[in-house]
């Protein structure tokens, strides 16, 4: 428990309290003015504070400094406990020794449960929202409307800090994802550059040399070989272009692009890939691209790791969004057993999906094949 200075029985250092004002015969108008001035000051002091504990401390400090209370503390509840996070100033003894604090936490818990201002000994127990509370001591007479205005003000300020914290967290997550996407892009460019250099470059060099040879002394057999090199190179160029971005995805949509990739996988690796797409309309450009990339990566995994005979790619409308399921009948694996460094491909899929508000799920076990679920929410307006 945070230590606070204890409640003085008499405090001559503060501005006059409502009770002393009353005693001095100051009327309702003066009391109202003092309330408004306090609220004004309170609003100004909490407006610039982004950290909940400091915000509560400033609020307490203002209420005590303006003479409404002689001391106070702010308590915050989390899932497991209620803890004092700030104290208002009090110039007397050590507050652990303060007799007024007996039973305070229990009272605070009750007040929070009931959601209403309650009184316990000298304490006003004032809930603020569902998980914060002011315990304020030393006032004899504070109007309900003033307390309600204080609560509203501090509650709004607290909500603002929570909102800011959530926004900052989201921002961080976003920049982390962006970083991952950028580095994945860079990696992809590296791979394409290597493909171009190693495969296409070498084939074209071989062709050039062969053509030179044949210009000097034409040889039909050699020319036939060169023709074969040319057609292999053409197929390589088509494959690289398809990997980069199949034009069929833009022109004919996700289903046609998936069918094309499935046919290609069958022709190259002998795996049967069934494609079923039941969408009534085309998806957005980003959604189509992400689902295509996820299916591409998932089928590449089937080819590389599953040893499967067959696989399926199914795209359906689900829960108002879209779901892509890629399944195979291969060796399966334990997704939980993978270290982070071993699942860069899976993480890339997850990040692409999360960037559009979606998610990735994997169900697999050794000997049981693999089912991969990619979900995207319906498009936000
Ligand atoms: N369909 C699958 N069948 C069996 N194992 C798989 C399958 N998909 C993924 N895996 C396993 O998950 C690991 C991580 O996949 P991934 O992140 O794509 O990385 P990479 O393909 O580069 O190894 C793979 O190395 C493999 O062990
Ligand atoms: Mg992979």
Residues 125-152: tens digit of each pLDDT: 999 998 899 999 887 678 889 999 999 9
Distance 359 CA to ligand 2 centre (A): 17
Residues 273, 144 within the same domain: no
In 10 A of CB 5, how many CB atoms? 16
Q: Has residue 5 been placed in a domain?
A: no
| Ligand 1 atom nearest 300 alpha carbon | 21
Residues 139, 263 within the same domain: no
| Ligand 1 atom nearest 346 alpha carbon | 17
Q: Where does a domain end: 150, 168, 186?
A: 168
Domain that holds residue 379: 253-381
Both tokens of residue 164?
């800011």
Structural domain count of the chain: 2
Distance 331 CA to ligand 2 centre (A): 15
Residues 373, 272 within the same domain: yes
Residues 150, 259 within the same domain: no
Does the C-beta of 188 come closer than 6 Å to ligand 1? Answer: no
| Ligand 1 atom nearest 306 alpha carbon | 3
Residues 156, 44 within the same domain: yes
Q: Has residue 186 been placed in a domain?
A: no
Q: Has residue 153 been placed in a domain?
A: yes
Residues 153, 282 within the same domain: no
Ligand 1 atom 18, closest CA: 345
Residues 288, 151 within the same domain: no
Q: What distance in Å separates the CA atoms of residue 276 and residue 281, rounded to the nearest whole number?
A: 14
Q: Which CATH number is 355's domain given?
A: 3.30.565.10
272 membership: H or E segment, kind and range: strand 272-278
Look up residue 372 and give its DSSP letter.
E
pLDDT in tens, the chain (381 residues): 343 333 333 333 344 444 444 444 557 888 899 999 999 999 999 998 988 899 999 999 999 889 898 888 899 888 778 888 877 766 665 666 677 777 888 888 899 999 998 988 888 999 999 889 999 988 767 888 999 999 999 999 999 999 999 999 888 877 877 787 778 778 888 888 888 888 899 999 999 999 999 999 999 999 999 999 999 999 989 888 877 777 888 888 999 999 999 999 999 999 999 999 999 899 998 999 999 999 999 999 999 999 999 999 999 998 889 999 999 999 999 999 988 778 878 988 998 898 899 999 999 999 999 999 999 998 744
Residues 132, 24 within the same domain: yes
What is each CA distance from 232 to 135, 191, 207, 215, 225, in whole angstroms?
81, 19, 11, 22, 11
Q: Has residue 97 been placed in a domain?
A: yes
For ligand 2, an ion, list residues with CB under 5 A.
301, 345
Residues 131, 263 within the same domain: no
Beta carbons within 8 Å of 44's beta carbon, 6+ residues apart: none
Residues 55, 161 within the same domain: yes
Q: Has residue 182 been placed in a domain?
A: no
Tell me the sheet residues that pair with 134: 74, 126
| Ligand 1 atom nearest 330 alpha carbon | 3
Does the C-beta of 232 come closer than 6 Å to ligand 1? Answer: no
Distance 305 CA to ligand 1 centre (A): 6
Residues 25, 162 within the same domain: yes
Closest CA to 19 of 147, 148, 139: 139
Distance 134 CA to ligand 2 centre (A): 54
Q: Where does a domain end: 118, 150, 168?
A: 168
Q: Has residue 177 been placed in a domain?
A: no
Does the C-beta of 344 come closer than 6 Å to ligand 1? Answer: yes
| For ligand 1, mutation pick of 273, 297, 305, 374 (most atoms within 8 Å of CB) | 305
Ligand 1 atom 9, closest CA: 301
Q: Has residue 244 been placed in a domain?
A: no
| For ligand 1, mutation pick of 184, 191, 301, 337 (most atoms within 8 Å of CB) | 301
Q: Which CATH number is 102's domain given?
A: 3.30.450.40
Closest CA to 313 of 352, 269, 350, 265: 265
Q: Where does a domain end: 140, 168, 196?
A: 168
Residues 141, 26 within the same domain: yes
Task: Please list the alpha-helical segments (H only) found in the chain.
Answer: 18-23, 28-47, 52-65, 104-114, 144-195, 202-216, 220-244, 247-252, 254-269, 285-301, 344-355
Ligand 1 atom 22, closest CA: 345
Q: Has residue 179 been placed in a domain?
A: no
Read off the pTM: 0.53
């Amino acid at each position: 428990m945070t230590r606070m200075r204890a409640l003085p029985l008499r405090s001559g250092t503060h501005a006059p309290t409502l009770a002393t004002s009353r005693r001095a015969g100051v009327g309702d108008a003066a009391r109202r003015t003092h309330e408004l001035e306090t609220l004004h000051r309170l609003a100004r002091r909490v407006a610039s504070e982004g950290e909940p504990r400091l915000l509560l401390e400033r609020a307490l400090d203002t209420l005590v400094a303006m003479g409404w209370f002689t001391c106070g503390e702010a308590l915050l509840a989390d899932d497991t406990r209620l803890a004092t996070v700030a104290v208002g100033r009090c110039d007397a003894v050590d507050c652990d020794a303060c007799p007024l604090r007996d039973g305070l936490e229990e009272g605070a818990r009750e007040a929070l449960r009931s959601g209403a201002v309650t009184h316990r000994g000298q304490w006003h127990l004032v809930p603020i929202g569902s998980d914060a509370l002011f315990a304020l001591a030393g006032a004899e007479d504070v109007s309900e409307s003033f307390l309600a205005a204080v609560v509203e003000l501090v509650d709004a300020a607290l909500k603002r800090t929570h909102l800011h914290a959530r926004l900052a967290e989201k921002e961080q997550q976003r920049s982390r994802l962006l970083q991952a996407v950028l580095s994945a892009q860079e990696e992809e460019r590296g791979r394409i550059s290597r493909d171009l250099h190693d495969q296409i470059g070498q084939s074209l060099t071989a062709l050039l040399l062969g053509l030179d040879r044949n210009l000097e002394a034409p040889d039909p057999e050699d020319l036939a070989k060169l023709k074969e090199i040319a057609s292999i190179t053409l197929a390589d160029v088509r494959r690289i272009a398809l990997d980069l971005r199949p034009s069929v995805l833009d022109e004919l949509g996700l289903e046609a692009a998936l069918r094309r990739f499935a046919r290609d996988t069958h022709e190259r690796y002998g795996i049967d890939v069934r494609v079923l797409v039941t969408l009534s309309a085309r998806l957005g450009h980003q959604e189509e691209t992400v689902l295509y990339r996820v299916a591409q990566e998932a089928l590449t995994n089937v080819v590389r790791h599953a040893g499967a005979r067959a696989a399926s790619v199914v795209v359906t409308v689900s829960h108002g969004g879209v779901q892509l399921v890629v399944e195979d009948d291969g060796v399966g694996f334990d997704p939980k057993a993978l270290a982070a460094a071993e699942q860069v491909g899976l993480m890339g899929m997850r990040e692409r999906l999360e960037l559009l508000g979606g998610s990735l799920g994997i169900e697999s076990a050794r000997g049981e094949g693999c089912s991969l679920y990619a979900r995207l929410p319906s498009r936000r307006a």
